[in-house]
Amino acid sequence: MKKLKILIIFLFCSQAYGLEFNGKFTQGGLIIGKTNPSDKIFLDEKPLKISPSGNFVFGISRERSKDLKIEIKSKSSSKILTKKITKRKFRIQRIDGLPKRKVTPNEEDMKRIRKEGRLIVKAKNINSNFDFFSNGFIRPLKGITTGVYGSQRILNGKKRRPHYGIDIASPKGTPIKSPNDGKVVLAERDLFFTGGTLMIDHGHGLISIYSHLENLKVERNQQIKKGQIIGTVGSTGRSTGPHLDFRLYWNNIAVDPDLVFN
Ligand SMILES: [Zn+2]
């Protein structure tokens, strides 16, 4: 009886706040939520963007272990939620046979890499008012997963940054779909590491990245729809075979795409 009472109070409270979280509170998780548009939400003391329909989004980093502090302020009240973050074990992945220049670039390459890096960072820092993220994400490509989020990479025997994307292998030329509505914010045919590369803005700092494409089917600044063909699978840039490297960043924090598809 006591338990039931608590449950009823809990349901009542969460309804009163009209607050909803979708997603896993885990390392690499992406939380897509809804609240009263007039509420204010603070994540670790920083204000979250809330759309006119009450949608919001935030990501949890691979390294996060501290509880999340979420504060919800409405006109009449304020409430603090503490969310535990489930820890994960990440794999070690060794890849050999990559061209030496792609693992240890020369001085000339480094100039190019830095210039291209600035383009990518600029696109990752976009924080638009779109709330396309609330429509749900589909897989951009069917195929075998050959690389997962978070694994520690050892390339040609050298320790490199963790892998922040998922790799999906598929034959060269296979069409890639946009996982959600969005706006193309970067479309480059030949970047040093990622080859044919697209970046799509889904709103509130949520940006998806597609690498190693053979062909791009959309242009920068183009608005696109969920399921629209945006390019084809290739093996351009630092790659050992045809596959799509798909990444999702929220305000520059890489999250796990596998936790996002519905
Ligand atoms: Zn990859």
- DSSP notation for 11-56: HHHHHHHT-EEES--BTT-EEEEE--TT-EEEETTEEPP--TTSEE
Chain centre distance of CA 201: 10
Q: How far is the CA of 235 from the centre of ligand 1 (A)?
A: 11
E strand residue ranges, the chain: 20-22, 30-34, 40-43, 46-47, 55-59, 68-73, 78-83, 92-95, 144-147, 152-155, 158-160, 166-169, 175-177, 182-191, 195-203, 206-216, 223-224, 229-233, 243-250, 253-255
Give the model's confidence band at 207: pLDDT under 50 very low, under 70 low, under 90 confident, else very high: very high
Residue 202: per-residue pLDDT: 98
What's the confidence (pLDDT) of residue 140? 98
| The CATH number of domain 2-83, selected from 2.60.40, 3.40.50, 3.60.21, 2.60.120 | 2.60.40
For residue 133, how far is its CA from the centre of ligand 1 (angstroms)? 23
C-alpha 57 to ligand 1 mean position (Å): 24
Model confidence at 130: pLDDT above 80: yes
Q: What spacing in Å lies between the alpha carbon of 1 and ligand 1's midpoint? A: 52
At 12, is the pLDDT very low, low, confident or very high (cuts 50, 70, 90)? very low
pLDDT at 154 over 80: yes
63 CA to centre of ligand 1 in angstroms: 19
Which strand ranges, in their side-by-side order, compose the sheet holding 30-34?
Answer: 20-22, 30-34, 55-59
The one-letter code for the residue type at 185 is: V
What are the start and end residues of each CATH 2.70.70.10 domain in the chain?
92-259
Collapsing DSSP to helix, strand or coil, 123 comes out as helix
pTM over 0.85, yes/no: yes
Just give the CATH number of 92-259. 2.70.70.10
Expressed in angstroms and rounded, the spacing between residue 185 Cα and the centre of ligand 1 is: 20
Compute φ and ψ for 240, nearest 5 degrees. Answer: -105, 0
Token pair 């970067």: residue:
186
Q: How many angstroms separate the CA atoms of 73 and 78, rounded?
A: 4
Q: Quick check: helix, strand or coil at residue 210?
A: strand
What spacing in Å lies between the alpha carbon of 223 and ligand 1's midpoint? Answer: 25
Ligand 1 centroid from CA 136, angstroms? 23
148 CA → ligand 1 middle, Å: 8
Does 137 score more than 90 pLDDT?
yes
Which of 6-10, 71-75, 133-137 is the least confident region? 6-10
Task: Please state, rounded to an integer, the average pLDDT across all residues of the chain.
Answer: 92
Phi-psi region of 198 (alpha: psi -120 to 50; beta: other; left: phi over 0): beta
Q: If you ran DSSP here, which 8-state letter would residue 5 be given?
A: H
Cβ atoms of residues 198 and 247 within 8 Å: no
- Please give the distance, rounded to the nearest whole angstrom, from the Cα atom of residue 152 to the centre of ligand 1: 12
Taking the centre of ligand 1 as the mean of its atom positions, its distance from the CA of residue 19, in whole angstroms, is: 35
pLDDT-based confidence at residue 3 (cuts at 50, 70, 90): low
pLDDT of 6 = 52
Mean pLDDT over 251-257 rounds to 97
Task: Find the 165 Cα to ligand 1 centroid distance in Å.
Answer: 5
Instruction: Specify the domain boundaries for CATH 2.60.40 within the chain.
Output: 2-83
Q: Would you give the distance in Å from CA 147 to the centre of its chain?
A: 15
Map residue 236 onto helix, strand or coil: coil
**What's the 104 CA to ligand 1 centre distance in angstroms?**
17
Mean pLDDT for the stretch of residues 37-62: 97
* pLDDT tens per residue across span 210-252: 999 999 999 999 999 999 999 999 999 988 899 999 999 999 9
Q: What is the pLDDT of residue 102?
A: 82
Ligand 1 center from residue 164 Cα (angstroms): 7
